[in-house]
Chain A
């Protein structure tokens, strides 16, 4: 686990009138869940992709812990895009579903077993490790998908609108699991959403962006009590 620091991070798309991400300074503490919030096109997903190594920087730097990862390849940044795929493999056990990616990454067996065991303990899946996905409940299957990400032991979890694909019932359920998981595992998490309600419910702190510029960073209470400008107040529905 590690902190994340953006130092004047900038992304300018060729031909664009203004930067998609404009000299953003932001520090995410070790173990913190930071929400990037803002309207479509505000730069929040671009900032997340820059951290993931999917977008190059046109200026500034990004650190994970003490390490400057600005020029480090995505695969070597030790991050996990959580909930990328919910696919579970029907013929493999829960344990295999959680651990197969470790095998692909060349991690030795003893280490794989230890990591799967730990993820299962955190997610309360120990009793079903030998079962196939069809033999467990829907909520357990979702946790298996999370377990796959946890078993990789990333330094940082990235979540890009993880609830957007889900219906209302599942959204509430998954949001609760993300919160619980983040508290239990304590992995630094950067979470993108355009929903202020979701941000308030899930974030330790929230960074609000507009037109590529960071408007304000604070806890939900700080933002509610003292929005930094009209945009923030409007976006959070605080304007009178």
Chain B
């Protein structure tokens, strides 16, 4: 039962690996921009504001495309 509970707890935050990877990549890039002084912090904020909805949209579109893809085995 403990293994099942742990598995479900991980499932609370990771459902679609593509979305989770997109979120972490966006935060990592914004963090690098902010902490390495490559750009002003507002640019890191703008990057997050654009990248996160984009990651959500791509994840949804990918799921819809996979669900509606015709079965090749017919």
Question: Do the two chains bind?
Answer: no
B-to-A contact residues, CB < 8 Å? none
Which A residues contact B (CB, under 8 angstroms)?
none
